[in-house]
Structure 1
Amino acid sequence: MSTPSHASTPTESTDRALRRPRVLHFVTGGFSGATQVAVDLVRGHLAGQSFEPLLVLRRKPHTEQARVDALLSEGIPVEMVAGWAHIATVRQLVKICERFRPDILVAHGFSEHLWGRYAGLLAKVPHLVHVEHNSRERYTWSRTRQMLWLSRRTDAIVGCSEGVKQVLLDKGTPVAKTLAISNGIRTAPFAAAVQHSWRERIPGIIMAARFARQKDHTTLLRAIALLRSRGHRPSVKLAGAGKASARNAAHKLSAELGLTDQVEFLGHHKDVPGLLMTHQICVLSTHYEGMPLSLIEGMAAGCVAIGTRAPGVQEVIDHDRNGLLVAHEDAASLADALERVLTRPEDGERLAAQGRADADTLYTLERMIARYETLFGQIIAGDEPLDLSRI
């Protein structure tokens, strides 16, 4: 384990001994999958009361204040820092750290894990944790060097899947403190899935994903156009906000392909579980992932999960057992998979049932939170080296 960022004074040591350990989670305010994981961990800390948490969001141009307000009204402690300049982000986060005095700062996602850990070092936070949420990020030579320099001063480096962990190791992170903790979802919102017989559901398609360069709405729309030429016209609902430029491009392509009567752009949807549980198919057409929460939620909802053959997705979907994998950027491959499910209900029922069973056992939020809190407990206890087999 790395040496703590600073030695505590007697007063600080006494203060820490008299209160619950404090954990600050720093993440993008773009409400990506990384944001959802950080929010869920804060919820878990509040419910379990083993840790005192604080969520700090880095403001983005598309950060929705209504969603921040919803977290605050729920009782989640949230603060914002500027996102317009890295130096502003670091300075504001240092001030929050000096006031909150966390025992652990958990920096989620690229490039927030860089600025978060710089702030933690400057504020002399005792322990730092880096969580990587994607298998492919824009690591330049300079940022790779920064990441590795920070890794030597970080207690643990977490990949949100085995695939992401391997990417980190390939970049040179220390083996002794690099581990995988799979993302998890709240299964309670999907408890009613068993009441929705798969064959009685709407034979339609849901893709719940923000509009961004990472997601591949283009291939899905082209696959729907191919299905239409084969005589199939399933409804398609695209749930998610994201970047206006990406959303506008998808709108334009949908119109060009003559799909405006089939494809509905829902924006941010407040009841994605309800949407999924009334439809047969969930799709994640993507270029790369870490651990795709939206796909796991679709499985928990009893949908047939269809995803791009990409790191992260391949860990969740075992082809033809609990879902279907399709070739990257291959509209014909995706159209074939969709047609199979739409025309062979016996396959659909089988895949959906196994997918739901896997989501309920392998990817629960409770399991994810327990593993993170075990890790934090080892770090605070000063275990050297970390016992990764117990996490």
Structure 2
Amino acid sequence: MNRSELTPARVTQARLPVRVLQFVTGGFSGGATQVAIALTTAALQGDTIEPLLVLRRKRHTDPGRIRELLAAGVPLREVPGWSHAATVAALARVCREFKPDVLVAHGFSEHLWGRYAGLLAGVPHLVHVEHNTRERYTRWRLAQTRWLAKRTERIVGCSEGVRRVLLDMGMPPERTVSIANGIRVEPFADADMHVFAQRTPGIVMVARFSRQKDHATLLRAVARLRERGLTPPVLLAGGGKAGHRAPLVALAEQLGIAAQVEFLGVHRDVPDLLMRHQICVLSTHYEGMPLALIEGMAAGCAVVGSAVPGVREVIHDGIDGRLVPEADVAALADVLQAFLENPEASAQLGAAARATALGDYSRTRMNQAYEALFLSLVKGGSKDV
């Protein structure tokens, strides 16, 4: 392919509705897929955006989730994921059929294949959304990302921390912005009715089992609490690979806390789980925008998170939650002890956390920001990038 074949087509005038194609992994376990689904479903509620969700099929793509989305009326297509070339070719065909004004490619490495397909199909406006502060960029993948950035109208970090990482990677500052991911606040409408003092004084962590998440530090902190005479129940909700979960089950046994710890697997009613407990933890090595932690805040929990980019901008330490150094067992144990022994202070933190989540991180705000972005790109007409 030559460069002329990879130049976005020009749009002579804006038209409504604007056609927006959201391309993302079909793995369902990460935040990128949830954001793409949310943007698609939100567009269906209005008449400004005509959406299409395209999922890159994975070996573990859940056909049940696909059926649920289709039954809910979500316009959805799948493209193969067995090779990058197959993904690009199939997505380019979808683009030629749907003729999107804007193609949004979410997450690593889908943002590469999505934008290649968009260029091949002549999609007028390309948007890259990065959902994490740490990805497996090789030199070759980084070179491709920089090449594609020159042909991409907006590069979006899902938090200010992610935007800064993108700038450090060499993304163009004038086209690199941040739009915070958001949560559905409606499931937490009754959180105030779950009086903090009447909740179970237990610890909830909602996170998939992966290298990214640091369940081990939480378990070791809970073991220290046990040495201090505190034995709160610990509920770990989330999917992920068995190879990451099994060592944690063994660690709980080794630490003597297995009777306190419950591995729930994927939990379909996380809001209820959070609103019935006092404490929400996100122990992690890196984040983009910690939606599970924000849900804990919306639920009115006392929250504590690892002080890594993404988490640091959500929690104001000592005001609406607590931050502890990454992988610091002693610091996490101390904060959890303070939460458990000072329920009135913890309740005040929980109330402040809820106000922050509802005010700053609603999905409505996220949807509006993305819609404004898409309309600005199209209404602004085509331009060289």
Q: Which has the higher contact order (CA 8 A, sep 6+)?
A: 2
Superposition RMSD in Å: 1.8
Task: Map residues 230-249 of structure 1 onto 2, 5 A cutoff.
Answer: 230-249=228-247
Q: Runs of 5+ in structure 1 lacking a partner?
A: 387-391
Amino acid in structure 1 at the alignment position of 2:18: P
CA distance in 1, matches of 2:255, 2:81: 37
Residue 20 of structure 2 aligns with which residue?
23
Residue 389 of structure 1 aligns with which residue?
none
Whether contact under 8 Å (1:62, 1:243) holds in the other structure is no
Task: Map residues 373-388 of structure 1 onto 2, 5 A cutoff.
Answer: 373-382=371-380
Per-residue CA deviations over 1:288-328 (Å, capped at 9, x if unaligned) read 00111001110001111110010000000011100011111
Q: CA deviation at 1:262?
A: 1.1
TM-score, reference length from structure 1: 0.93
Query: Tell me, what secondary structure is at the counterpart of 1:314?
Result: coil
Residue 6 of structure 1 aligns with which residue?
9
Deviates more, 1:270-279 or 1:57-66: 57-66
CA distance in 2, matches of 1:343, 1:21: 54
Residue 3 of structure 2 aligns with which residue?
none
Q: Give the direction of change, closer, same or farther, for the CA distance of 1:220–1:26 in structure 2 (3 Å limit).
A: same
Amino acid in structure 2 at the alignment position of 1:180: S
CA distance in 1, matches of 2:320, 2:179: 21
Residue 273 of structure 1 aligns with which residue?
271
Per-residue CA deviations over 1:261-311 (Å, capped at 9, x if unaligned) read 111111111100011011001111100001110011100011111100100
Residues 1:333 and 2:331 aligned together? yes
CA distance in 1, matches of 2:335, 2:37: 34
Residues 1:106 and 2:109 aligned together? no
CA distance in 2, matches of 1:328, 1:148: 30
Q: Give the direction of change, closer, same or farther, for the CA distance of 1:322–1:270 in structure 2 (3 Å limit).
A: same
Residue 302 of structure 1 aligns with which residue?
300
CA distance in 1, matches of 2:170, 2:161: 15
CA distance in 2, matches of 1:272, 1:282: 11
Residue 355 of structure 2 aligns with which residue?
357
CA distance in 1, matches of 2:207, 2:102: 30
Residue 82 of structure 2 aligns with which residue?
84
Whether contact under 8 Å (2:88, 2:113) holds in the other structure is yes
Deviates more, 1:67-76 or 1:43-52: 67-76
Q: Give the direction of change, closer, same or farther, for the CA distance of 1:242–1:49 in structure 2 (3 Å limit).
A: farther
Q: CA deviation at 1:259?
A: 2.4
Residues 1:140 and 2:143 aligned together? no
Equivalent residues, number: 378
Q: CA deviation at 1:383?
A: 5.6
Amino acid in structure 1 at the alignment position of 2:9: H
Query: Tell me, what secondary structure is at the counterpart of 2:61?
Result: coil
Residue 124 of structure 2 aligns with which residue?
126
Query: Tell me, what secondary structure is at the counterpart of 2:209?
Result: coil
Whether contact under 8 Å (1:109, 1:133) holds in the other structure is yes
CA distance in 1, matches of 2:46, 2:279: 35
Residue 69 of structure 2 aligns with which residue?
71
Whether contact under 8 Å (1:22, 1:53) holds in the other structure is yes
Whether contact under 8 Å (2:101, 2:123) holds in the other structure is yes
CA distance in 2, matches of 1:62, 1:221: 28
